[in-house]
Structure 1
């Protein structure tokens, strides 16, 4: 007896056996049970998703001697003839080779005659989009008002080429691409029936290569069995089809996220030496980062990806270490790389440069991350002594000098007293209103993370202005210029007998004839509400003014 390939041997014979198309099989089952079967159906989908299979099962269900029934018996003569493809009442037509007006005219003439055995004469036209426009038009009248015993079932991979007048006369079913997990489950079940030992990683590799087509996966498995026998592992699949191991792809994904360029270069070199399809590597990386993006946004809803548990666990492990904005930039770079590689002679070079660009995108901070860091800094600064240690740790971001942790407090206070006029003047550039209040203050003491400033009790009304977050930060930055570390600032009242001189005793700047302080150009811009909002948001300062 001639060998029957797995794709034909495992072809579903019942609606319940169809993989991944529950929305189609349930609708057809209900239609048969409620006697609401339409006269024309259009099955749309990519290759290997079950269009022709569903059409044959529907034809078998309608003409079964125990039917019409949603569960054909598969033992009556009518069912056997449909399964063997030699039924007189179920006519399968290849639309690619029977696409002319003459063939459609013959079909229309024959449709008038009653079926030979069953209750219906059923026409299954595969690749119906290949019919010519004239052939479609010749079919219109018969399709709109066919004889009661005639049913039409169309299948196509390119529904856009079908005339709208044809589509409007049919019930349309869009068959989905079959998920990786569904393909793996079906292949595992078939291998168990055939006594074939195959690893989980090998099944995943076959399912990845099938790209949603179950027939492609079954044909690939058939080829691997011929190559390797009944003991199959992932290396056998990778060797036959030039695929890249899932673990290699995961390592490459992690290297991109960590901006580990040497690892990226090494992995690409190994794949190139092994003769892997580098164009396909880009597409699989694109799928990886798309899945990671879904996990980042969907959280617990990521189960909708219908991925195996091991793959889903990998994405969930990587999600906390990255940010969605970076993943989006990586995806953009991969899409650009894929487009350029299609027409390139040296795919390896383009892949290397493209993935290096992806790694740079992965390490570049997004605006959202910068704003979050700014908000955290402001929060830490507001919390005063409790968070002063954390504020001090951030000093290199502002000052850049080494913190001198063991400088005596008295020496630092003397230095600050000496430079207090300059410090107040520097604060005035960022906050003009705080400058006047600081004229009645003086430094009292410092430690590694904190500065205590004394104020004249007579001017306690100015304390609210001094406690403002912006004023505190401006003073901390001004002090940082002299002590080389950022300190948390707090205030306390000076004792009445404190001999410490205050800057108000010898003003920093001369006052005008009307005893009012003249604002500089920078101070005027700081007073602008819009500028003040932006500077406050980023804890910045004006460095240059161009008008």
Structure 2
């Protein structure tokens, strides 16, 4: 008590320092008693807790309806409000006006809980009190009545650090505690807590706090403290906090020490090595546009500025995840809880890409992240990874190709048939038969002059029969009946000519020139037949065959649907099969 009187009362100390000197010591002590923002802004009411409405609403209703359980388990990552919620609940239960969901904060019980020196609210660190002996002492002390309030409340932080033996020693007391005892546990690793403990508690999962909620809380706090800070700076701090409000408040505290009460985004980026939101957006657009030079320049600038490239990759992964949500969710993307400026950016990029491409980019980023952890040159690996992402962005998926083909077919069916016919008829062929003139020509001569090409077309459908038809020739055509002669030396192979598959393939090949299907009969050539067989002389591909092949290709290139598909995919026709 003597030390306290020296610090706060203007009187002489043990060395005989005069009152004036005592005042100077008091001023120095007051200056040293700075309270960080994370403690200064700690919520004191359920309504002050940020981003955990599902927890505060349940606890409020439980107090109002007198349904407060004997044990609670608060689960969540760091800085989400586990211990804060536990203290508010303890204060609400032991308030002199309570139990009440709105503790007064002015009674002795509330003040003691806020100061952390309440005899009835015992906070225990699970990491340093994890043995059976400590749990035995807790169990023995729990039998005694509270000193002031109606309840004796045990808050055990990081309860997963208790040993298995300590958990088992706590089981009986936790299941059937005295009526005046309440247990509140907090943990970041709930999977390490025994299931027998969890089954005796009401569990609350505290979620990560959204970027927008963190920005709103920091903006309000800065306004109360008279601090001027830009929206981009608030957003940069919230991004770096990764869902933890305490991390964001601690970061803001550090920025204020660095820059004072006038804070811009550049100050935040300089202190924590973060990347500007605009740089991330530029990098996202460069990847979607497959702009490799721009990607390399941005990565080089970030490396020269000393940015954490591993962190850049994770933020880029988060950016494409948000874009994917916007693509799939549409108007439901407001669930991202992003600031309006960020949401507008993703909504503007969504029509310019496709979900399949974004998924491939995300896969490439995940792969690069796993490799970067062990890379000697993070810059090189990031560059190659992002270039791979840009290639994935410009590669069309099978689903996209099928969709484009389906759209082409749909447009073709709904188009002007007369216009399409006119377009096809306007194409002049370099050589070969034209179907509308066949009726005026000698069909047999046409077939004979192009028989080699007909046999080649047959070979595409029935390769086994191709060599037998090389020594055949059309003999006679009468109506829908075509007679084909073959070399007598192949009489033993007549069954090959009569094969239904071979005959059908030959009929389809003839249909290309006569524009009608014919029935085919075979007979051996007579010795006085003056018609030579196609194999009796060499047929140069520079004449009839090349003309026929060119004719077939030109015909298909003139087809509106084929032409559109070829142009859309920058392709060419290499084979024709019917």
Shorter-normalised TM range: 0.7 to 0.9
> Contact 1:388/1:488 (CA < 8 Å) preserved in 2?
no
**Does 1:205 pair with 2:236?**
yes
Match 1:179 to one of 203, 207, 210:
210
**1:320-363: CA deviation from partner (whole Å, max 9, x where unpaired):** 11111111111111001000111111111110111111111111
Q: Give how far 1:385 is off.
A: 3.7
* Equivalent residue, structure 1, for 2:558: 486
Match 1:325 to one of 351, 356, 365:
356
* Equivalent residue, structure 1, for 2:127: 96
**Does 1:108 pair with 2:139?**
yes
> Contact 2:431/2:551 (CA < 8 Å) preserved in 1?
no
Partners of 1:122 and 1:412 lie apart in 2 by: 95
> Contact 2:38/2:249 (CA < 8 Å) preserved in 1?
yes
Match 1:62 to one of 66, 90, 93:
93
Partners of 1:16 and 1:413 lie apart in 2 by: 82
**Does 1:336 pair with 2:336?**
no
> Contact 1:334/1:358 (CA < 8 Å) preserved in 2?
yes
**Does 1:6 pair with 2:37?**
yes
Match 1:31 to one of 62, 77, 91:
62
Q: Give how far 1:482 is off.
A: 3.7
Matched pairs, number: 449
**Does 1:277 pair with 2:277?**
no
**Does 1:262 pair with 2:281?**
no
SS of residue matched to 1:268: helix
Distance 1:322 1:414, change over 3 A: closer
Match 1:412 to one of 400, 418, 428:
428
**1:211-253: CA deviation from partner (whole Å, max 9, x where unpaired):** 0000000000000011011111110000000000010001001
* Equivalent residue, structure 2, for 1:452: none
Match 2:405 to one of 360, 369, 374:
374
Partners of 2:146 and 2:410 lie apart in 1 by: 82
TM-score normalised to the size of structure 1? 0.76
SS of residue matched to 1:412: coil
Distance 1:48 1:541, change over 3 A: same
> Contact 2:288/2:393 (CA < 8 Å) preserved in 1?
yes
Q: How does 1:223-234 map to 2 (within 5 A)?
A: 223-234=254-265
Partners of 1:79 and 1:69 lie apart in 2 by: 12
Task: Tell me the C-alpha RMSD between the 2 structures.
Answer: 3.1
Partners of 1:35 and 1:340 lie apart in 2 by: 54
Distance 1:49 1:308, change over 3 A: same
> Contact 2:255/2:271 (CA < 8 Å) preserved in 1?
yes
Q: Give how far 1:48 is off.
A: 0.1
Partners of 1:388 and 1:94 lie apart in 2 by: 83
Bigger Rg, which one: 2
Partners of 1:488 and 1:157 lie apart in 2 by: 64
TM-score normalised to the size of structure 2? 0.72
Partners of 1:68 and 1:294 lie apart in 2 by: 43
SS of residue matched to 2:72: strand
> Contact 1:427/1:478 (CA < 8 Å) preserved in 2?
no
**Does 1:49 pair with 2:80?**
yes
For structure 1, the 5+ residue unaligned runs are: 396-407, 442-454, 456-476, 490-537
Which consecutive segments of 4 or more residues in structure 1 shift more than 4 A? Answer: 386-389, 413-441, 477-480, 538-545
Partners of 2:433 and 2:396 lie apart in 1 by: 40
Match 1:237 to one of 260, 264, 268:
268
**1:453-499: CA deviation from partner (whole Å, max 9, x where unpaired):** xx9xxxxxxxxxxxxxxxxxxxxx9757347952449xxxxxxxxxx
Distance 1:539 1:303, change over 3 A: farther
